């Protein structure tokens, strides 16, 4: 069964860029939760901690698509390295200011700079798309593999970040996240052979990837989905702290990611028939329903089980999302299109983290878990209302010539063709 995963790594360089992408993505799982842990330890204020995590996510949301657009045009190496320098400087400044008790506004200034991280996941997926173009099944497996890597980051990242910040010193988790970012990006951009060919300005389609109605539906839904993730992170740390086991929050959140990782492994081995839009809408709906049991959580073991079950719907939904992005945006803007979904998640994480932090400060953790439940309901509503735009066959212009058309075809059509 695992031969499907082995086969995608037969192309030269695929193992190296996937490994570099894993290292470069760890900061996305470590930094926000690490800042929440650090600030809550130094100040005891979850509202401030959530606001800073929200600022980081908002900066990622603004900078991510712009960095990806430039990478499509000028190449990953020329764009990612300067962007990483800005982000690393911001993370270092944030940690120094937090440790020295600097005015709060300085924390937010450096958080903005720290959030200017390149979307390493989108860069890696763009490399897979370039290598496996014309092989839908292999590309499905590659997207599933990268979703597994995403979830592995969210299994390991929070455990390492919270564990270091609680057992060593408060700034340890975010500090290591910054180191991983620099090393991962330098390693990835050193691999020139698998870097997608840049698309010059004159060959780019006017406007940005968001001109696609289908992509707008995906991004809007992912804003609400990101709010689920951001709220769950903040409230779970507060929930564990309230019960005197703050460090256990990393294990509970790792269980959430483990559920998604397990589902991603299975989903990557399955040949899914029918349009991806249908499975995507079902996945969003299941994700929303899985937030309901969190309202009943009274102890950490129950919460851990509930989050593990909830995580089973995450990776399959993400894999379907990447298939839909490829169907609804031009090839010359593929990295940008993938980054817009990440941007939607980042905006949602910002909203969810800040809202949940305020609710926890004012009403406690039981009320805090109402935030991801409401976000889930909104995600399901947007997905259902936008389903028609995603299921209809679309034709978009490709990136290898002004007249190349790339129609969407589902797997059954690919097999017949």
Residue 64 pLDDT exceeds 60: yes
> Tokens at residue 304, please?
């851990």
What are the residue ranges of helices labelled H in 364-410?
A: 365-368, 370-391
Q: Alpha-carbon distance 130 to 265, whole Å?
A: 22
Residues 161, 228: Cα–Cα separation, whole Å: 20
Instruction: Look at residue 118 and give its three-state secondary structure.
Output: coil
pLDDT in tens, 295-309: 888 888 999 999 999
Q: Are 225 and 341 in contact (CB under 8 A)?
A: no
DSSP 234-263: HHHHHHHHHTT-TTHHHHHHHHHHHHHHHH
Task: Domains for the chain: give ranges and CATH numbers.
Answer: 14-192+209-416 (1.20.1250.20)
Going by pLDDT thresholds of 50, 70 and 90, the confidence category of residue 198 is confident
| pLDDT band, residue 109 (cuts 50/70/90) | very high
Comparison of pLDDT for 417 and 194, the residue scoring more: 194
pLDDT band at 251 (very low <50, low <70, confident <90, very high): confident
Q: Which of 75-84, 155-164, 285-294, 357-366 has the lowest mean pLDDT?
A: 155-164
Instruction: Give me the mean pLDDT over the 252-259 stretch.
Output: 83
Closest CA to 76 of 387, 395, 355, 336: 336
Q: Output helix, strand, coil percentages for the chain, rounded to the nearest 5.
A: 80, 0, 20
| pLDDT beyond 60 at 231 | yes
Q: Of 98, 91, 89, which Cα lies nearest the Cα of 40?
A: 98
pLDDT of 280-291, one tens digit each?
Answer: 888 899 999 999
pLDDT score at 241: 85
Cα–Cα distance list, 323 to 82, 283, 402 (Å)? 30, 14, 23
Per-residue model confidence as pLDDT tens digits over 389-412: 877 655 444 443 333 334 333 333
Buried/exposed 181-195: b ≥16 CB within 10 Å, e otherwise: bbebbbbbbeeeebb
Q: What pLDDT, on the 0 to 100 scale, is given for residue 82?
A: 94
């Amino acid at each position: 069964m695992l031969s499907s995963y082995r086969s995608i790594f037969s192309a030269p360089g695929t193992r190296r860029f996937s490994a570099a992408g894993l290292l470069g993505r760890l900061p996305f799982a470590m930094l926000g939760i690490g800042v929440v842990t650090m600030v809550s330890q130094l100040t005891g204020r979850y509202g401030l901690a959530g606001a800073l995590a929200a600022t980081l996510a908002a900066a990622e949301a603004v900078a991510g698509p712009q960095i990806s657009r430039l990478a499509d045009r000028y190449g990953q190496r020329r764009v990612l390295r300067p962007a990483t320098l800005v982000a690393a400087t911001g993370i270092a400044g944030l940690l120094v200011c937090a440790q020295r008790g600097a005015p709060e506004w300085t924390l937010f200034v450096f958080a903005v700079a720290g959030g200017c991280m390149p979307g390493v996941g989108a860069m890696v997926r763009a490399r897979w798309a370039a290598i496996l173009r014309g092989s839908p099944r292999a590309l499905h497996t590659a997207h599933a593999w990268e979703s597994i890597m995403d979830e592995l980051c969210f299994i390991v990242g929070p455990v390492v970040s919270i564990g270091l910040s609680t057992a060593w010193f408060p700034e340890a988790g975010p500090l290591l996240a910054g180191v991983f970012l620099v090393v991962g990006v330098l390693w990835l951009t050193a691999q020139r052979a698998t870097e997608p060919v840049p698309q010059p300005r004159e060959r780019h389609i006017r406007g940005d990837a968001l001109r696609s109605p289908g992509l707008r539906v995906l991004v809007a839904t992912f804003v609400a989905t990101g709010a689920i993730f951001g709220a769950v992170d903040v409230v779970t740390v507060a929930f564990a702290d309230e019960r005197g086991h703050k460090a256990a929050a990393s294990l509970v959140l790792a269980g959430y990611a483990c559920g998604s990782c397990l589902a991603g492994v299975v989903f990557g081995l399955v040949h899914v028939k029918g349009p991806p839009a249908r499975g995507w809408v079902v996945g969003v709906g299941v994700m929303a329903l899985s937030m309901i049991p969190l309202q009943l959580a009274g102890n950490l073991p129950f919460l851990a089980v509930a989050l593990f079950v909830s995580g089973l719907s995450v990776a399959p939904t993400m894999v379907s999302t990447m298939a839909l992005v490829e169907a609804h945006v031009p090839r010359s803007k593929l990295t940008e299109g993938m980054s817009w979904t990440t941007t939607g998640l980042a905006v949602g994480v910002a909203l969810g983290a800040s809202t949940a932090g305020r609710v926890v400060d004012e009403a406690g953790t039981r009320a805090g878990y109402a935030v991801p439940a409401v976000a889930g309901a909104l995600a399901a509503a947007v997905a259902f209302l936008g389903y028609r735009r995603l299921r209809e066959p679309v034709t978009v212009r490709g990136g290898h010539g002004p007249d190349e058309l790339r129609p969407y075809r589902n797997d059954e059509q690919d097999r017949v063709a």
